[in-house]
Structure 1
């Protein structure tokens, strides 16, 4: 599944749809600035290495976790759906949209309202048609009511409202918010593709969403999770509703634990319970070296019978949805 190459395509070469990993890192991204501005007696090798090559050639360079879905319908019409637009969204557009010939964004889905998921909302205007008077069709943003309320506070100028007398029109991203529910029983459709919400705990005081999508290939995407509620795990597990073809799952640290994210041992344990046909890890810190740890995972995969690897920024997987 991983042969050391970078930005290679995997999956079914004849498939019409694809997934592009725009980012696979944690909120702070990799390289981690502290390693570079305040190096310890033993500088972090991953952060040093991540600056030694251009990002497109270096799988240890990781932007905020984000997935682009290039969905080709039965009518052969392509729609481009992004899950999360975090702090590094502009960088991801510059880096990967040209390389993977992504001409536009049709819809955005948000997992939650933390900075690494939403702070790129302002930069959506960079991929919208230019209009100094905002005379363009707004882009649909699918999110929970809680996320909507948070965005209205953080970005009041991105929430549609009537201008007051004398107030100037300012060019900003044109967005149309569509509320979804944190309920596995309430799917919703985005640009022709159906998504099932997968509520998960992101710390015991906070609910985040993953998503299940695809009929020909069932994909479960869960980027921010510390614990799976039983109902959510049942929907995506082999012993429940049915085995998913690909599980994309959170994995923050390699050795340490964390109160709001799964880490390496917990992630592997969750993969064994869910038992997907294949799994890719995202959300990694500088704890992980892409090449070395994928060798470790290759051995684990042979032993457990579940192919698992670290994803990397720019990875493209062709499949039918």
Structure 2
């Protein structure tokens, strides 16, 4: 059975950790709110004593829109009656508030066959620093090994400058750069937005600037051109974001096949085929980021 999560429609999913376990031929899903490491460990016995998870997991760092939730305008220019969703943020702490949401972003905690973990981040939006402070600390995430970008809009990339806070510290900034996978169009846009993050040949005696060190890797907007990030295979899933802009979703997973698709208004036939049962095979999980509440046709 395919499971579908509309991550901006379900309450509290902005703090959700989704765990994948394999038992014989079936796949078991264990869903728990990530309000604290204690709660996560109690709900998921695969956590070891030091808080390390012995299976792969998905951590929803944010499921909000570009302006995030609450919308500041609702608080400084309140309507009459006031917006119930945004005003809830004044009385309920963020860790217990289903309507306090950061920019859409997913962290894949990938438990590799060699027994080690890789941490793969999909999108680095305007709220990335807050996401690190809130959720990396709770889930004991020590670093980011790879970054994958869906597109180059502000809510997906404006946190790139803060990637340095999840990289190793070096007085000379002489560290291994973090691989970042993106389309050619996104690369051209980010070269203008963040020229200081693009590697340049150093002059004699010049030191590396103390900024995020990134290894830019171009991927194709093509379902037939998969790539590998931190040992995990990804299949790009081009979708329409509006009517004239291509955004990427991604298909990934070894034992469980997951399709993660954000900022989507319409599916091209090629992408719809890849995630269909008649295409690449039955999905275990389909995650859609949906902005507006409408009737959804049963898949």
Under a length normalisation based on structure 1, what TM-score does the superposition of the two structures give?
0.76
* Number of equivalent positions: 260
Partner residue in 1 for 2:288: 249
Structure 1 residue 237: Cα displacement: 1.7
SS in structure 2 at match of 1:99: helix
Q: Tell whether 2:103 aligns with 1:64.
A: yes
Find 1:42's aligned residue among 51, 56, 81. Answer: 81
Structure 1 residue 131: Cα displacement: 2.2
> CA 1:126–1:6 in structure 2 vs 1: closer, same or farther (change >3 Å)?
closer
Partner residue in 2 for 1:98: 137
SS in structure 2 at match of 1:81: strand
> CA 1:158–1:36 in structure 2 vs 1: closer, same or farther (change >3 Å)?
same
Structure 1 residue 9: Cα displacement: 5.0
CA contact (8 A) 2:63 2:102 kept: yes
5 Å matches for 1:121-270? 121-164=160-203, 169-254=208-293, 264-265=294-295, 268-269=296-297
Partner residue in 2 for 1:115: 154
> CA 1:5–1:199 in structure 2 vs 1: closer, same or farther (change >3 Å)?
closer
SS in structure 2 at match of 1:47: helix
SS in structure 2 at match of 1:98: helix
CA distance in 2: counterparts of 1:161 and 1:191, whole angstroms: 25
Structure 1 residue 6: Cα displacement: 8.7
CA contact (8 A) 1:6 1:57 kept: no
Structure 1 residue 133: Cα displacement: 2.3
CA distance in 1: counterparts of 2:109 and 2:235, whole angstroms: 18
Find 1:29's aligned residue among 60, 63, 68. Answer: 68
CA distance in 2: counterparts of 1:245 and 1:131, whole angstroms: 41
> CA 1:186–1:61 in structure 2 vs 1: closer, same or farther (change >3 Å)?
same
Structure 1 residue 63: Cα displacement: 0.1
CA RMSD after TM alignment: 2.1
Greater shift, 125-134 or 136-145, is seen at 125-134
Unaligned runs of 5+ in 2: 19-28, 31-43, 47-53
Higher relative contact order (CA 8 A, sep 6+): 1
CA distance in 2: counterparts of 1:202 and 1:8, whole angstroms: 25
Structure 1 residue 202: Cα displacement: 0.7
Partner residue in 2 for 1:52: 91
CA contact (8 A) 2:15 2:59 kept: no
1:210-244 residue CA offsets vs partner (Å, 9 max, x unmatched): 00001211100001111100010111123433221
1:106-165 residue CA offsets vs partner (Å, 9 max, x unmatched): 000000000000001000011111224220000000001111111110000000002357
CA distance in 1: counterparts of 2:288 and 2:153, whole angstroms: 17
